Amino acid sequence: MSQIPAELKYVSSHEWIRDEGDGVVTVGITEHAQELLGDVVFVEVPEVDEDVDAEDEIAVVESVKAASDIYAPVAGTITEINEELEDSPELINSDPYGDGWMFKMKLADAGDLEKLLSAEAYAEEIADE
């Protein structure tokens, strides 16, 4: 069973969201998602200052095996990207909830956080897969 930290929020497309306060969140992909992908070898992250809508395809994580689109979990503006991933995409495998984070964004509406899945709800979703 893969790890699903209780303090994070999730979406069913396997991104996790950490509330950093002040309407800013950090986004990455879950341990379950990286297990499905296998060895990650290429990551394309969005651009800083890009405005995105919820469910926009804004990044790509590619393993040796397959490419997987990453969706904006909420609407907002990209404020920071994880530049380490360009040279070390494998951080997504080794530390998906830590050094493997993908980007930070400022929420358009802080209330959107309430719409995301809890750890428990996400665990139920992947158990049904």
Partner 1 sequence: MGNKTPLYQAHVDAEARIVDFGGWDMPLNYGSQIDEHKAVREAAGMFDVSHMTIVEIKGSDAKPYLQYLLANDVAKLTTEGKALYTGMLNEDGGVIDDLIVYYLNDAHYRVVVNAATREKDLAWLENVAQQFDVSVEERSDLAIIAVQGPLAIEKTQSVFSDEQKQAVAELKPFVAAYAGDLFVARTGYTGEDGYEILVPDNKAAELWAQLVEAGVKPCGLAARDTLRLEAGMNLYGHDMDETVSPLEANMGWTIAWEPEERDFVGRKALVEQKANGIPRKLIGLVLEGKGIMREGQDVVVNDDVVGVVTSGTMSPTTSKSIAMARVQRSVDAEEVLVQVRKKQIPAKVVKPSFVRKGKSLI
Could you identify the residue written with the tokens 């309430």?
114
Of the pair 51, 109, the CB lying nearest partner 1 is at: 51
Q: Can you tell me the distance from the alpha carbon of 120 to that of 101, in angstroms, rounded to the nearest whole number?
A: 21
Least distance between partner 1 and beta carbon 49 (Å): 19
Residue 28: CB minimum distance to partner 1, A: 20
- Report the C-alpha gap between 101 and 90 in whole angstroms: 11
Which positions touch partner 1 (CB under 8 A)? Answer: 35, 38-39, 41-42, 44, 60, 62, 64-67, 93
Q: Which is nearer to partner 1, 49 or 87 (CB)?
A: 87
Name which of 66 and 121 has its Cβ closer to partner 1.
Answer: 66
- Give the nearest distance from C-beta 2 to partner 1 in angstroms: 12
> In sequence order, which residues have a C-beta less than 8 Å from that of residue 33 and are 6 or more positions away?
14, 15, 61, 68, 96
Q: Which is nearer to partner 1, 35 or 55 (CB)?
A: 35
Q: From the CB of 87, what's the least distance to partner 1, in Å?
A: 11
Interior angle at CA 45, CA 128 and CA 29, nearest 5:
25
DSSP annotation of 114:
G
